[in-house]
Amino acid sequence: MVTIKSEREIELMREAGRILANVHEELGKVVKPGISTKEIDRICEEMIRSQGCIPSFLNYQGFPASVCISINDEVVHGIPDKHRYLEEGDIVSLDTGVIWKGYQSDAARTHIVGEVSDTARKLVEVTEQSFFEGIKYAKAGNHLNDISKAIQAYAESFGFGVVRDLVGHGIGTEMHEAPEIPNFAQRRKGIRLAAGMTLAIEPMITAGRYDVAWTDDGWTVVTEDGSLASHYENTILITDGEPEILSL
């Protein structure tokens, strides 16, 4: 069941989103060639806890870190590793979340590391913009599928792939709540959006085909064809007017 948040719950989620936005802004400053993904995770956890929050990803269904760090052909859920370092030319997705007084916020950003290829740069730009194309339709009275269709149409207009096996989600006291939010068109319109719904919308876009596979660690999702992948996510609030982006 999709929950409608009260004004008090929305205020708590606003604060969770504000804190998470600050965490992402600071994390972006440490993304440089030579840093280990484990060090990024350490910095992320310290920042979240220093704000009085709990890192929502740590130990979630057994995930061993506070931030998913996915590099190049990794779509999502990459596990930080002290022996893995960012290199010039990489693109890296940082996906993390916080719990503030029992309420969650979830957001992801893909960063470029030094000088990257034109394809990599374009992929990161289009992935981010596809989120904003989608939320043009995130208004009370519209249907969930309006968001999904807009994301897919924009990403595919550049020849990119839209991952089918992973989707966005509702969010609140739980990280994953109803509804599921695909980034591609469905046959059904989906639920009608209503003010007070809080959603995590997260395009996952590839430079090649949309097919993905899970690696042996059970977490990391990679593109089957080895093409680059990019991920962009925010927690948003449906209102009677324009959507409010809580984690920006």
The CA dihedral of 59, 62, 64, 67, to the nearest 10 degrees, is -70
What distance in Å separates the CA atoms of residue 161 and residue 153, rounded to the nearest whole number? 10
Q: Where are the alpha helices (H) located in the chain, listed in sequence order?
A: 7-30, 37-50, 118-135, 144-156
Which residues are CB-neighbours of 148 under 8 A, at least 6 positions away? 134, 181, 182, 183, 184, 185, 186, 190
Q: Tell me if 202 is assigned to a ligand binding site.
A: yes
Q: Is 169 annotated as a binding residue?
A: yes
In sequence order, the 6+-apart residues with CB closer than 8 A to the CB of 212 are 75, 163, 165, 166, 221, 222, 223, 224
User: Can you say whether the dihedral through the CA atoms of 133, 139, 145, 146 is positive or negative?
Assistant: negative
In sign, the C-alpha dihedral spanning 18, 124, 156, 209 is negative
Measured CA to CA in angstroms, residue 86 lies from 45, 77, 81, 220 at distances of 19, 16, 11, 17
Contact by Cβ (8 Å): 67, 75 = no
Is 95 within any annotated ligand binding site? yes
Which two tokens mark 240? 């009677």
CA angle 156, 223, 127 (to 5 degrees): 40
Query: Is 111 annotated as a binding-site member?
Result: no
Question: In the beta sheet, which residues pair with residue 96?
Answer: 67, 107
Tell me whether residue 24 is annotated as binding: no
Known binding positions = 77, 95, 106, 169, 176, 202, 233
Please give the annotated binding residues for a divalent metal cation, written as ranges: 95, 106, 169, 202, 233
Residues of each annotated binding site for substrate: 77, 176
